[in-house]
Structure 1
């Protein structure tokens, strides 16, 4: 197997594991509620700790990626996730569950950034939208697995055993990454000597002070935070409490949304360059897709006279197109910054997922539960409208700005 193929497959497997961890609590939630007595707020906090750990690790992870390369860093971090999964499975209290979930978030924090960095140094730039779309598509299958397949599995084994099983899979993938592919690191690819870790942190700070970076990422990161926050936890309670759907139907819709996100990643990646040839920039294409994502959210909330499966498939498809923002970042920022650019964006997205999952939980708990774990429809809808309004605010800067031009390596002094 050629190295490029191994790089693509093994890093994609890593992101699959990351995505599996991201949404696994959607299947565990009923058991955690009944066995450990978690409330809606507890469940939101517990699930979102994955995203908090992910966000907190992004700056050091980005510096590590640009210093030691994606293969070593990704494999080492994934072992931390495996430990977290074992701790989670052994837990009998909320506190120990939180520790395990936080370790998992830290452990998989580099899976996407490492994958995109590895793709950028392995494949030509014009192929990155399609290749990155493929990575996200394979990873996104984890979002489909946490629907009906996970529900069926939890009918046979306990959630604790499922945690140990995912830990084992994580160790296997870490081994494939470390032993199965060769490095294509920043220093080797760019002809530079690898910079020190301190200078990498300085470069991250310089990036965070760049208005252009925030212009590009603020709107899509807010929409991504909403999408992944809903997909990985709050979609199921919304469909159960607001729409009063049978559990089997809800599990099917969760899996379908995961597959739709995979298709969105693939289709948008393949179509991106063709659309650019029509004179439409990737920047504005991201804006169009994200704007349509907001429209679908509004249609869901207004209970538009459209088949339910079409609405949620559109929600998943458009949520999957946010992968294109990485291609915009690759085109705009210097290559020696790609690890930090990707992980800084990821930090923002996953901090927002952490925040939004908790906001939904806090808002929902403002209403008295109808029964244990079941809340009034107005509680969920109020939280969703709040987040939709926030997305609308961030859209203003994005659409009022011109498409960015590639930078002339302004951070060379820090690298």
Structure 2
């Protein structure tokens, strides 16, 4: 089981990479295949929406087929095939199609790990284990910043994506060989996602799950690049360095959030406090949109740090899911978390298009303001949630 979790962690490194690497390819894709920021926002949104929609069949597959075959087959066909298609792209639509395939490939990886944690480890350790997997896997977020910028400068983006296709295929084979499926839960009880949606405790959690991850994921995955280029005239390498700082902060935030529920004996107030501070950081970024590049990078890092509450929200929701529906339960939560990013990428793409003629900073003030309002609204609903700490 431990060897399998290591390989699943490597697969999650790839998943984190693929959701974040477009930010440093903005200039190259614009030059080579005429992909504008709103084209890349749509492609990024498609990755997240595809990933989210896949959570329903993935949840069923985890409960019925097991994590080994589910993760290995989808990563091989979707991750490897999608990266290969991206490497051959000649138009923005090819990038979008490639991101859809990659979204399919990445969709089961983290949930396969969480499924194993939920079945094989005590509930009280779920948040910490989930945070460790998320934090270590987020190395992919770092690789998708400055190291990717260097690789693109040395080899070109096509060779870089071709190499990633081969790596994805190799990791998929590793999952097939090393992951062991947990024993099935023997029960006469039946159920579906509809039964989970009848649980009142989840309805105060799901709205925040929808918006909590979106600001940091969308900014790190795309908007940080165009923002720093358009407002501060940074080049690809400089954008890579800035996003490296934000990515490092996201990893630090994941490890910081992980044990806090056990230390403070509350999940609700850890999650609520962090996300309210994240909304405040987004508001400050709007106010100081073009003040100084170091202020903007610091605020982007703060948003990444404070926006890393995903595993604790997952643990909060997990507490209200029955054992025989664990696979579908964690994937339902993930559907909201990842789907929210996809929806917001499409919305922010439209915002960018509508405000691009109003000045260099206007689109980003509007985008960051939208994220701040959405996050505050999610927190307002989450106030009414029921706390849980096993």
Q: Same fold (TM over 0.5)?
A: yes
Deviation for aligned residue 1:211: 3.5
Aligned to 2:213: 224
Deviation for aligned residue 1:364: 1.3
Is the counterpart of residue 315 in structure 1 residue 312 in structure 2?
no
Deviation for aligned residue 1:171: 1.3
Deviation for aligned residue 1:89: 1.2
Is the counterpart of residue 267 in structure 1 residue 260 in structure 2?
no
Aligned to 1:253: 242
Tell me the alpha carbon deviations over residues 83-134 of structure 1, each in whole angstroms, 9 at most, x when there is no partner: 1111121221233322221111111111111111112223222222221111
Aligned to 1:59: 56
List gaps (5 residues or longer) in structure 2. none
Aligned to 1:118: 116
RMSD: 2.3
Aligned to 2:273: 288
Q: 2:324 aligns with which of 332, 336, 340?
A: 336
Is the counterpart of residue 178 in structure 1 residue 176 in structure 2?
yes
Q: 2:228 aligns with which of 236, 239, 256?
A: 239
TM-score (normalizing by structure 1):
0.87
Deviation for aligned residue 1:357: 1.2
Change (3 A) 1:356 1:17: same
Deviation for aligned residue 1:405: 8.8
Aligned to 2:349: 361
Deviation for aligned residue 1:145: 0.9
Change (3 A) 1:149 1:369: farther
Tell me the alpha carbon deviations over residues 345-375 of structure 1, each in whole angstroms, 9 at most, x when there is no partner: 22122222112112212111123459xxxx6
| SS of equivalent to 1:403 | coil
TM-score (normalizing by structure 2):
0.92
1:97 and 1:251 map into 2 onto residues whose CA distance is 20
Q: 1:9 aligns with which of 6, 10, 26?
A: 6
Deviation for aligned residue 1:140: 0.9
Q: 2:371 aligns with which of 374, 382, 387?
A: 387
1:149 and 1:333 map into 2 onto residues whose CA distance is 40
Deviation for aligned residue 1:27: 2.3
1:309 and 1:87 map into 2 onto residues whose CA distance is 33
Between stretches 308-317 and 351-360, larger displacement belongs to 308-317
Change (3 A) 1:403 1:270: closer
Between stretches 52-61 and 206-215, larger displacement belongs to 206-215
Q: 1:39 aligns with which of 36, 40, 51?
A: 36
2:295 and 2:28 map into 1 onto residues whose CA distance is 31
Change (3 A) 1:311 1:50: same
Deviation for aligned residue 1:308: 4.7
Between stretches 387-396 and 284-293, larger displacement belongs to 387-396
1:327 and 1:351 map into 2 onto residues whose CA distance is 18
The answer on whether the counterparts of 1:261 and 1:321 sit within 8 Å (CA) in structure 2 is: no
| SS of equivalent to 1:184 | coil
Is the counterpart of residue 398 in structure 1 residue 382 in structure 2?
yes
1:212 and 1:243 map into 2 onto residues whose CA distance is 45
Q: 1:378 aligns with which of 362, 366, 370?
A: 362
The answer on whether the counterparts of 1:239 and 1:245 sit within 8 Å (CA) in structure 2 is: yes
1:378 and 1:313 map into 2 onto residues whose CA distance is 21
The answer on whether the counterparts of 2:229 and 2:239 sit within 8 Å (CA) in structure 1 is: yes
| SS of equivalent to 1:23 | helix
Aligned to 1:23: 20
Aligned to 1:302: 287
The answer on whether the counterparts of 1:360 and 1:380 sit within 8 Å (CA) in structure 2 is: no
Matched ranges for 1:88-99 at <5 A = 88-99=86-97
1:76 and 1:301 map into 2 onto residues whose CA distance is 43
2:193 and 2:389 map into 1 onto residues whose CA distance is 20
Aligned to 2:85: 87
Between stretches 141-150 and 39-48, larger displacement belongs to 39-48
Structure 1 runs (4+) deviating above 4 angstroms are 243-247, 304-309
Aligned length: 386
Deviation for aligned residue 1:142: 0.9
Q: 1:78 aligns with which of 75, 78, 89?
A: 75
Between stretches 328-337 and 287-296, larger displacement belongs to 328-337
Deviation for aligned residue 1:273: 1.0
Deviation for aligned residue 1:65: 0.8
| SS of equivalent to 1:332 | coil
List gaps (5 residues or longer) in structure 1. 407-415
